[in-house]
Chain A
Amino acid sequence: MGAQLRQLRRRIRSVRSIAKITRAQELIASSRIVRAQQRMQAALPYEREITRAVSAVLSYDTTAEHPLMVAKENPQSAAVLIVTSDRGFAGGFNASILREAEALAGLLRERGIEPKPYVVGRKGIGWHRFRGREMHGEWSGFSDNPSYAHAKEIGETLVEAFTDDNGIDEIHIVYTEFVSMLTQRPKVVRILPLEVEESEEAPPGGPLPYYEFEPNAQAVLDRLLPRYIESRIYNALLQSAVSEHAARRRAMKAATDNANESIQRLSLQMNQARQAEITQEISEIVGGANALAEAAAGKE
């Protein structure tokens, strides 16, 4: 009986220290969500302006052509940029993004396209390494706090691979979209080749003016499109970062709650065990005393 009591005490101690760790992780994640969200907000004006500028060039010159907009007739391979996190402790965050990436790879193969993974985040890299899958690009160390320089680096690699004749024919991004604090969902978007959508609706912010271009529309488009791609990638990285923090906070909150529940259950068991031990000791003493008394009575 004493052994059981000791064991329970030890378990409670260890669960309590786990709860402390998960609680700390939860608090860290909550404070970082706010900062990550602010960064996402701060990136919005640029994104809006660059999208507007691209629409302006394309609506001015609907015949404008650019290598980044041309879909190849017979796509052979596609780059899939998978945005995962560097650290775990985030519930199903990485699992769901990798599952989505696998589903996309399956779809691409059905169309006869070979998917080529480009991976962001240590978790995704480890996942691919473990399965012996070849990665064509890997970046890590910034998943929870990406800067534009990172997006630029990724964008340049991808655009280069796309414009190279023997390279890839399509580029997809798989990332986690931040819908709200409670909902984040994996999302797949094709960023290249760009699709030009004909729309009758007026774009947000009023109809587009007829710009004069300096030096000319083609040169502006040549410079704008890569920036636009980078801005899209940057947005995916930022959304993924916010989602990572939100997922981590939720997972750690659940872990803390479970730990506290375990502590309660174990305390109950421990108290029962202690009570049983005391009862047993008492009955042993009483039994012993009775036996002695009986023996004494027998002698007389």
Chain B
Amino acid sequence: MAKLRVGVVSPEREIWSGEADMVIAKTVDGEIGIMPNHAPVLGILVDGGVLTVKRGDGDDLVAAVHGGFIAVANNDVSVLAEAAELGSEVDVAAARDALNRALASIDAESTGFDAQLEAKRARARLRAAGVEV
């Protein structure tokens, strides 16, 4: 079966590239699963989403992706993230810390920074690292 060529890039670096059997991402319309020979799609990704790249041998790649786009054409999948982090690179303690701080400021109804967004991002990072939240 044909394979997908996947590239995950952020403005500052290429995060990951390689072959895969399936890519699952979350666009503003909902989750979308891409398999080989998928029709060309250009979608907007949600903030704080989790991207899963299935590579067949159980060695899946999970990344937290914050905003950006996914473009699929001719079995080429490019994920253009504004910011992204591989699950294996996530500092779980720091992410948990960020989540707690964000939740605390939501509770306190402070308007200093976008706490909802921060919480969403922190959750995505934790999920990508394989931690249940």
Whether chain B is bound by chain A comes out as yes
Show the binding face of A for B, using Cβ within 8 Å: 39, 42-43, 45-47, 49-50, 52-53, 56-57, 147-148, 151, 206, 208-215, 219-220, 223-224, 227, 230-231, 234
Cβ-defined partner of B80 (8 Å) among A53, A56, A212, A214: A53
A213, B42: Cβ atoms closer than 8 Å? yes
Q: Which residues of B40-73 have CB atoms within 8 Å of chain A's CB atoms?
A: 40-44, 68-69, 71, 73
B44, A214: Cβ atoms closer than 8 Å? yes
Counting from the closest, the 3 A-B pairs by CB-CB distance are A214-B43, A209-B40, A209-B73
Main secondary structure of the interface of B (DSSP, over half): strand
A147, B80: Cβ atoms closer than 8 Å? no
Residues on the A chain within 8 Å of B39, using CB = 212
Residues on the A chain within 8 Å of B82, using CB = 148, 227
Q: In the docked arrangement, what's the CA distance between A151 and B43, Å?
A: 23
Show the binding face of B for A, using Cβ within 8 Å: 7, 9-14, 27-29, 32, 39-44, 68-69, 71, 73-74, 78, 80, 82
Whether A212 touches B40, Cβ cut-off 8 Å, given contacts A45-B14, A223-B69, A224-B69, is yes
Q: A45-B14, A46-B9 are in contact. List 14 more A-B contacts (CB 8 A).
A: A43-B11, A43-B12, A46-B11, A49-B80, A50-B69, A211-B42, A211-B71, A212-B42, A213-B41, A214-B27, A220-B42, A223-B44, A223-B69, A227-B68
Q: In the docked arrangement, what's the CA distance between A50 and B44, Å?
A: 12
Q: In the docked arrangement, what's the CA distance between A214 and B14, Å?
A: 24
Cβ-defined partner of B12 (8 Å) among A42, A57, A206: A42
B44, A215: Cβ atoms closer than 8 Å? yes
Q: How far is the CB of B44 from chain A (nearest CB, A)?
A: 5
